Amino acid sequence: MEPWDVTIVGGGILGTSFAYWLANRYDGRIAVIEKEPQVAVHTSRRNTGVIHRPFYLDPVGRRVFARSSQAAYGMWKAFAAQRGLPWLPVGTFEVATRPDQLSRLETYRTWGLANGMGDDELALLTAEDVRRLEPNVRCHGAIWSKTDTAVDYPAFTQALREEAERAGAKFLLGSDVESIDVAGDHLEIRLARGTATDRGSVSERSTRISTSEANTGRSARNGTTCAVGTSTRFRATPSSRSSTRTGSSERTDGGRSAPTRSRFPDRTPTTDSSTTRRRRCRSCSNARSGTNSRLS
């Protein structure tokens, strides 16, 4: 079979997004290996489906994520409009379950404004304000991120797959990876018996993106960071171990980490591959001369 310059393992929204961007920006042979018969079968389907704004991201300590998150919102919104995908700005509350957490909410508002959010997109709420809006929530206060948006991640992933395929990427569905080994100047990816192909390989010198539904949020070797994950419509501030539930959504922070939310590189999406200016990476050029990877 034909060789691949880039092989992406995992067809969730992260792996599919990588395929979309690479196929639209580079002239190379790109494959996505997914063990399920369809994309977005696991974590990308089973989450709260909310695109969050960067109010919770330190504009200094997490600068790249904050900038990417701010840029991503408009990009997702434009993509949803182009493809007729669900887009519902529902807003979310970040709640303080103890009085000493109120200062954290003020910090979040400062961060949100520093990250590019508008003053009208954020509001600090008292306990009474929250009770009027959500009678079942008990807290000491909250920050209201009004433009956090509910979406359909499986539909987004499928749309990205279609655009990636239109740009030349290939999705090998029903293909379960058994092993990845170094074989000379390339990597050999062996698939389990009964899947689409017996083995695949990708050049060790090219940028290899390895993602999975169970481990989203990692960065590619070339430094590009692109993460999409899950969170809740309501959650406790990072300093507590409490969780707050609304509907079927729940989040427990464990006292430290913030939830993973939608982020993309700062580039404008293009759905028409014919108008996209592509760049040929060095490994793709090597592949054309027969020195790169191959499938057998």
Whether the per-residue pLDDT at 177 is higher than 60: the answer is: yes
- Is pLDDT larger for residue 280 or for residue 182? 182
Both structure tokens of 2: 């034909």
Tokens 């709260």 identify what position? 48
pLDDT of residue 223: 30
CA distance 286 to 30: 15
Tokens 């290899």 identify what position? 208
- Is pLDDT larger for residue 237 or for residue 85? 85
Q: Show the beta-strand stretches assigned E in the chain.
A: 6-9, 30-34, 50-51, 88-89, 92-96, 122-126, 141-145, 149-150, 170-173, 177-183, 186-191, 199-203, 234-236, 243-246, 249-252
Q: What is the pTM of this model?
A: 0.65
- Is pLDDT larger for residue 260 or for residue 98? 98
- Is pLDDT larger for residue 185 or for residue 1? 185
Three-class secondary structure of residue 207 per DSSP: coil
Angle at 128 between CA 104 and CA 260, to 5 degrees: 40
User: Where in the chain are all domains bearing CATH 3.50.50.60?
Assistant: 1-49+152-220+269-296
pLDDT of residue 112: 98
Both structure tokens of 142: 């909250």
pLDDT of residue 48: 87
pLDDT of residue 3: 83
- Whole-angstrom CA distances from 54 to 7, 158, 234 are 31, 25, 15
Cα 239 off chain centre by: 25
| Fold category of 1-49+152-220+269-296 in CATH | FAD/NAD(P)-binding domain (3.50.50)
**Mean predicted confidence (pLDDT) in 244-251:** 32
pLDDT tens by residue, 67-93: 999 999 999 999 999 999 999 999 999
- Cβ-based neighbours of 150, under 8 Å, separated by 6 or more: 49, 50, 86, 88, 89, 90
Q: Considering only CA atoms, which of 177, 159, 161 is closest in space to residue 33? A: 177
Mean pLDDT of the chain: 75
